[in-house]
Amino acid sequence: MTALTLSTAGAATLRADALVVGVAKSGKTLVVAPGAEAVDKAFDGLAAVLETLGASGAEGEATKLPAPAGLKAPVVLAVGLGAAPEDGESYDAEVLRRAAGVAARTLTGSKKAAFALPIAAAEDAAAIAEGALLGAYAYTAYQETGKDAKKPLAEVALLGAKPRDKAHKAAAERAQAVAEEINRARDLVNQPPNDLYPATFAAAVQAAGKEYGLKVQVLDEKALTKGGFGGILGVGNGSVNPPRLVRVAYTHPKAEKTLALVGKGITYDSGGISLKPAGHNETMKCDMAGAAAVFSSVVAAARLGLEVNVTGWLALAENMPSGSATRPGDVLRMYSGKTVEVLNTDAEGRLVLADALTKASEEHPDAIVDVATLTGAMVLALGDRTFGIMANDDDFRTAIHEIAEEVGEQSWPMPLPADLRKTMDSPTADMANMGVRMGGGLVAGLFLQEFVGEGIAWAHLDIAGPAFHEGAPYGYTPKGGTGSSVRTLVKLAERTAAGEL
């Protein structure tokens, strides 16, 4: 775990393996960002040296230089911040977050790095801390660690932050808690499905519950059968690893509102009898990213002591083909009492979520947000870095979109066209689990809406695109699990606690 400290030392005097500074573009000129004045002086003009080396100041750029006399750190790392802000303006928080992430990734193997990036307010310190801690992430649980193995950056020292200032200290503490919970979600998403299946996922929640004082209830296959959870059972029946429904709750004695979070937790999705073809199943361990995000967000709320009740519902199952698996054409009786004709067993996420949404609605929360890697259609619509937001309340959808943008998560509001609902009509059951192919992500949202309790504000986040990154790392985003939506959910809980929603 990467350590975080706020330091009052100057950039020139702090001992560290590397000193991180920011550079930006002002027109056609390269400029050194605030916070690095002492470094600029030591180089007798850092920008000129960087320009000689071909640096442009573009976002994502990182240039290492040997430090000159006058600096305690032996290496200076200049990271690009893009266009310099106008006079009187500050750097965007997401720009700082990504730059810090680039620096942390570049400095893998280092013990300590001092970050002398521009800090004009506590929010800037939080963004840099968050980016550095997220960028320092690495999943190495299944790798041999020899002498030559490079470990993630061990310590981040923020220069320019004020350790005795309450706002700066609180911002740093929040950043560390949120980043660690995002990394918890990443770990779960990256864990191989032969080790992470419904029972072991539930056990991980129980362990965290004991550590953070959360109330955890686990419904096993017997309890699910007795309770009539036909959706979750229908998906999980084909696997030797039976399903679970996990309730994990954080409560605050002064809370006036309750937020329910529901996560899709398909620990491996083969597609079931509607088997996925080769090339589409290799990363399907990530199909529980919604449940991981929900779990981590509840823990984050507890760690931050938010004055709001947050209940997480994790619908956990493994979708496998076998003689006991649900077949296309089968009809499931859901927990709500509705019957659903299964036309495609690879449209399984909506089935487990439906039962969890109905169960969550019974507690009459003020709002429900479900999170799921639900549809490939959403990836086709929005790409692999943006999640879609659907809701039964336009104001709630807008609020979540604005929150996501504020915390640096790309999202986009999507509609729930009523005319698509009839495409899920079934001649056999109350409805089918599939509708028309075009607009498939919206059809899935309409299906889920059927299982939300009356009068409850509800939103659906389809994180199928950004939940698992298959390309090269960028910014603070690693290859593999990303922890998508955790920052949005935590900020939503904070806003709810503050009475703003």
The whole-angstrom separation of Cα 50 and Cα 57 is 9
Q: How far is CA 335 from CA 197, 248, 408, in A?
A: 22, 19, 36
- Of the listed 186, 350, 359, 397, which one is catalytic? 350
Q: Phi then psi for 32, rounded to 5 degrees?
A: -85, 130
Nearest residue to 348 (alpha-carbon basis) of 456, 231, 249, 449: 231
Nearest residue to 198 (alpha-carbon basis) of 318, 26, 290: 318
Query: Which H or E run includes 250?
Result: strand 244-250
Query: Crossing angle for the helix pair 289-304 and 198-212, nearest 10 degrees?
Result: 10
Task: State the Cα torsion 39-45-48-49 to the nearest 10°.
Answer: -50
Catalytic, 303? Answer: no
Q: How far is CA 383 from CA 237, 378, 389, 411, 462, in A?
A: 32, 8, 14, 10, 12
Q: Phi then psi for 81, rounded to 5 degrees?
A: -115, 5
Taking the CA atoms of 160, 163, 169 and 174 in sequence, report the sign of the dihedral they define. Answer: positive
Q: What angle do CA 104, 110, 115 make, to 5 degrees?
A: 45
The whole-angstrom separation of Cα 97 and Cα 157 is 15
The whole-angstrom separation of Cα 74 and Cα 292 is 40
Residue 410, token pair as written in the block: 């790309």
Contacts of residue 233, defined as CB under 8 A and 6 or more positions apart, other chains included, come to: 221, 224, 225, 243, 332
Query: Which H or E run includes 156?
Result: strand 155-159
Q: Phi then psi for 243, rounded to 5 degrees?
A: -75, 170
- Of the listed 257, 276, 333, 479, which one is catalytic? 276
H-state helical runs in 107-197: 122-135, 166-190
Q: How far is CA 182 from CA 113, 284, 333, 371, 433, in A?
A: 22, 19, 35, 14, 31
Q: Phi then psi for 364, rounded to 5 degrees?
A: 50, 55
The whole-angstrom separation of Cα 481 and Cα 430 is 36
**DSSP codes joined into one string, 270-296:** --TTSPPPTTSSTTGGGGGHHHHHHHH
Catalytic, 350? Answer: yes
Place of tokens 């290799």: 282
Active site residues: 276, 350
